[in-house]
Amino acid sequence: MGKKTLEDITKEVIGKQINPLEGVKKIDKMIMGITKAIYNPGRGDYKIYNHNMVYKISVSYANKKNRKQIREMLALAYWKATQNGSKKPGEFHGGKGCSTKHYTRGYKTYVSELLLQYT
């Protein structure tokens, strides 16, 4: 069986075969450390970085119901980048009152709830 891609892992998260935290852990291991994650729901894609590459994954096919899993996974990917010691872990815009730019308290509360839910 061939190696899974980030898109395969994203589809597993959307399909609820794995939870968003498991998806982030798989991606982190696959690319040898997430250093940056960028998610802005209006773009229809997300980007995850390691020390050498940028991985851009299109999620324009996802419907409104599926975007919840993507949002959760990317919030946790940003968190993982900070856990990996990244000085510039990217950005996350999860909706009103939850972003790493203007609403950090909302973002931190959101991630805390996700970590409690999935660990």
Alpha carbons 23 and 103: distance in angstroms, whole number = 25
CB 99 within 8 A of CB 91: yes
DSSP tag of 94: -
**pLDDT over 70 (residue 12):** yes
DSSP tag of 90: E
Alpha carbons 89 and 110: distance in angstroms, whole number = 17
pLDDT value, residue 114? 96
pLDDT digits (tens, 9 = 90+) for 57-114: 888 777 878 888 988 999 999 999 999 999 999 999 888 889 898 899 999 999 999 9
Beta bridge partners of 71: none
What number of residues does the chain have?
Answer: 119
pLDDT value, residue 3? 60
pLDDT digits (tens, 9 = 90+) for 29-65: 999 999 999 987 777 789 999 999 999 888 877 787 8
Residues 6+ apart with CB under 8 A from 22: 13, 118
Alpha carbons 92 and 76: distance in angstroms, whole number = 10
pLDDT value, residue 2? 41
Count H helices and E strands in the chain, helices first. Answer: 4, 4
pTM of the model: 0.90
Alpha helix segments (H runs only) across 1-119: 6-14, 20-30, 67-83, 104-118
